[in-house]
Structure 1
Amino acid sequence: MNNVEINHSGTIRMPIRSTDQVLHKAAWLYYTHGMRQDEVAKHLDISRASVATYLRRARETGIVNIATSTQLFADDVLARQLEDAAGLKAVWIVPEDRHALDPTAEMPVVAAAVFLELIGKDDRIGVAWGRTVYHIADVMPFADLQGVTVVQLCGNLGAPYSYRPDQCTTEIARRLNAQGINFYAPLVLSSERLAQELRQEPVIQEQLATIPHCTLALYSVGGIEADSHLVKCGALTAEELRVLGEAGAAGVIAGQVIDRDGQLMDCAHNRRCISADLDSIRSIPKRMMVVQEDEKLEPLVAAIKGGFASHLIVTASMARRLLERLGSATVAAKTE
């Protein structure tokens, strides 16, 4: 089987565009996986004629050369390998070797650009909360996307807390000139009984029922460290979160604690939460997860296992660590 060679000039490149990514993926599937053009077309949901055009353009522009010994753009190949290993629809890598550029500052810019490319006409978009989502909203370009609706995936937090769900939802809707729908309920109630009763309120039921109709979700995955968002906002104490960690907790999705397999933890905190049902979130076709903190490997692994990501944006170092972890897990599973 022929390999794929991608010229490497050593110059700093802008984040890969949507068309460039499809071109690269078509070449990856055709040459590296040995798929036929009709199989590539089916995998990428494009026409066979488009596949032939992409492959021709890749060769003509010098991006792809058929050769017996090859070298690919490391970040692009890493993205394709991670897609294969994690079963993701698309991965974007933010390189960390860009001289003076700071990947943590660049991550929200890349994520905002990708997010805009994923939005379709009349889409309904679910948005969670946290520092990463807030920073994406803060750098998002203004666009005129009337007909698009942005909805909050979980209840709200107290006013003093930064990166609140309503702030993220409202700002993204403002940047897109879209309709914004906030969740008029707290994220965490003081008792399980009160949370159960509030979920039965018609307005809350109506909001929760619309989540499966979203076509795109934007969020990150939270950690369970002592200074996590759930602790900072007062939803849990550091000790309570430590105990949950010992019981198998690994991360946080839309305010809810998940275990190492990405499943909802059976705990008092989750029963007191007003948030989208995790199965409803999983049913959203495009689930865009953005992770930039190095310490979030374990939460990210859990989120991927739980099916919470179809599109992923990470740093190159996180991508390599994640690929190594997923590869090790696959080997372990085969030897059991």
Structure 2
Amino acid sequence: MASHMVPEHIKTRIAWLYYVEGMTQDEIVAETGLNRSRVLRILAASRHDGTVQIRVTTNLTHCIELERALEQRWRLSRAIVIPEPQDPAQTSAILGAELGAYISRTVTGHSTIGLGWGKTLSNALPSIVPRTPEGIRVLSLLGGLTRVSSVNPSEFAWRVADRLNAECHLLTAPVFAPDKPTQESLMTHSGIAEIFSRARSLDMAIVSVGALTPNSVFYEYGLLTRSEIASLEAAGAVGDVLCHFVDAEGCLVRHEVNDRVLAVNPAELHNTRNVVLVSGGWHKLKVIRAALKLLKPSILIVNEMVAENLVAEQG
């Protein structure tokens, strides 16, 4: 039987015996009557699906210093800086885990949460502790992908909603319309217009950013052609915030791609009580800096190297 078919109470008991009571795997085999390979699969699945969450509780002094400096330099309510991982490819997963922990700590009942998209945000899912508060509403702030993907904005929104026992509202249209007239027509649809209306008074918005590279997710998922990406770069774009392409100062670039995007304009999130910006990696430094200028977030979750550069910038 596959590990995902194991009854929840058995999986929880095995995780408890191993991580809390400190029993060895052999002792758990003897206690439960399961074979060793199955116990190993169950323990691995428990880490992957968020049943077990391991956190190092000691703080690194340098990261704490960077957090305080970021808060002062960028006028943040809170900065969270993760230590630079040995493998840079793990940056997104670690940032996502921090975001999941933050959501679990701070989301309360009767609140409306707007969500962006991306691999970093999707990595938060296993770390979101399932909740049952009443009156939570989750909104996807952008349209979906026409090709199936693990980072589809719509799937991410409903999976967060499921974790939080929330009502979910999806922007049921492609994230990029084929042209401006089609985009304008779709914007008049009552369901889509409702999303944009609700987005003007969010309690929390959770946003990541994307760098503009020839092999970016926009090209990978067939959203933009390489010629369109090159054209955006020529117009001064350094990346995107909610699929709106911005320059180094955080201003939307004048380009036809921005004219046909179906997503909440990040500049319109200023009435949101709590804007959370989560992103990291050297290749995203320029667009993270631009997003800080555009969004003026209250919370920033970022990696150590990017934090050092953001602190060093004069302003």
Q: Smaller-chain TM-score range? A: 0.7 to 0.9
* CA distance in 2: counterparts of 1:105 and 1:243, whole angstroms: 31
TM-aligned CA deviation for residue 275 of structure 1: 0.9
Distance 2:93 2:190 in 1: 41
Structure 1 residues 107 and 215, CA gap change in structure 2 (3 angstroms): same
What's the offset of the Cα at 1:15? 7.4
Report deviation, 1:201.
Answer: 2.0
Matched letter for residue 311 of structure 2: L
Tell me whether 1:118 sits opposite 2:106 in the alignment: yes
Tell me the distance in 1 between the aligned counterparts of 2:264 and 2:65: 35
Matched, 1:95 2:83: yes
Between the aligned partners of 1:150 and 1:295, the Cα distance in structure 2 is: 30
Aligned mates of 1:320, 1:87 — CA distance in 2: 16
Gaps of 5+ in 2: 1-54
Q: Tell me whether 271-280 or 120-129 shows the greater mean CA deviation.
A: 271-280
Which residue matches 2:274?
286
Alpha-carbon distance change, 15 to 228 in structure 1, aligned in 2, over 3 angstroms: farther
Q: Equivalents in 1 of 2:239, 2:226: separation in Å?
A: 14
Matched, 1:176 2:185: no
Equivalent residue letter for 1:320: E
Tell me the CA shift for residue 139 of structure 1.
Answer: 3.3
- Is the 8 Å Cα contact of residues 267 and 294 (structure 2) preserved in structure 1? no
Amino acid at match of 2:69: Q
Q: Tell whether 2:201 aligns with 1:158.
A: no
Q: Structure 2: how far apart are the matches of 1:82 and 1:262?
A: 18
For the residue of structure 2 that corresponds to 1:185, the secondary structure is coil
Taking the aligned partners of 1:308 and 1:246, their CA distance within structure 2 comes to 26
Q: Aligned partners of 1:176, 1:311: CA distance in 2, in Å?
A: 20
Asked whether the 8 Å contact 2:115–2:157 carries over to 1, the reply is yes
1:170-228 deviation per Cα after TM superposition (whole angstroms, max 9, x unaligned) = 11011111111111111111111111111122222122111011110112111111121
Give the 3-state SS of the residue equivalent to 2:138 in structure 1: strand
**2:263 corresponds to 1:220:** no
Checking the alignment, whether the CA contact within 8 Å between 2:266 and 2:294 is kept in structure 1 is no
Query: Which residue is 2:258 aligned to?
Result: 270
Check if 1:14 corresponds to 2:62: no
Aligned equivalents of 1:313 and 1:207: distance in 2? 26
- Corresponding letter in the other structure for 1:134: S
Q: Which residue of 2 aligns with 1:135?
A: 123
Query: 1:86 Cα deviation (Å)?
Result: 1.3
Relative distance call for 1:225 and 1:118 in structure 2 (3 A) is same
How many residues of Structure 1 are paired with residues of Structure 2 in the alignment? Answer: 260
Matched residue SS, 2:240: strand
In the TM superposition, what whole-angstrom CA distance separates every residue of 1:73-93 from its partner, at most 9, and x where no partner exists? 221121010111112221001
SS of 2:210 mapped into structure 1:
coil
Which residue pairs with 1:312 in the alignment? 300
Query: Residue deviations 1:90-130, cap 9 Å, x none?
Result: 1001113789xx65443222111112223233110000111
> Could you state the TM-score of these two structures normalised by the residue count of structure 1?
0.72
2: CA distance, partners of 1:239 / 1:15: 48
- Describe how 1:34-45 pairs up with structure 2 within 5 A: none
Distance in 1, Cα, partners of 2:58 & 2:154: 29
RMSD of Structure 2 on Structure 1 (CA) = 2.2
Specify the SS of the correspondent of 1:249.
coil
Contact 2:204 2:273 in 1 (8 A): yes
Listed one character per residue, the Cα deviations across residues 42-101 of structure 1 (whole Å, up to 9, x for unaligned) are xxxxxxxxxxxxxxxxxxxxxxxxxxxxxx9221121010111112221001113789xx
Provide the residue aligned with 2:242 in structure 1: 254
Deviation (angstroms), 1:250: 1.5
Q: 1:37-116, aligned counterparts within 5 Å?
A: 73-96=61-84, 103-116=91-104
| Aligned CA distance change for structure 1 residues 104 and 278 (closer, same or farther; 3 Å) | closer
CA distance in 2, matches of 1:15, 1:273: 43
| Deviation for aligned residue 1:264 | 1.7
Hey, what's the Cα distance between the residues in 2 that align with 1:98 and 1:131? 19
Partner of 1:237: 225
Q: Which residue identity does 2:240 align to in structure 1?
A: V
Conserved 8 A contact 1:95-1:103: no
Opposite residue 321 of structure 1, the aligned amino acid is: N
**Cα separation, 2, equivalents of 1:129 and 1:165:** 5
**Aligned equivalent of 2:35:** none
1:130-188 Cα offsets, whole Å, 9 max, x none, are 11111112432212232111110011111333300101101101111111111111111
Superposed, which structure 2 residues align to 1:13-32 within 5 Å?
A: 13-14=56-57
User: Where in structure 1 are there 5+ consecutive unaligned residues?
Assistant: 1-11, 17-71, 331-336
* Cα deviation, residue 13, structure 1: 4.4
1:323 matched to 2:311 = yes
Q: Quick one: which of 180, 183, 189 aligns to 1:195?
A: 183
Say whether 1:299 aligns with 2:292. Answer: no
Shift of the 167–268 alpha-carbon distance from structure 1 to 2, 3 Å rule, reads same
CA change 1:244–1:155 in 2 (3 A) is: same
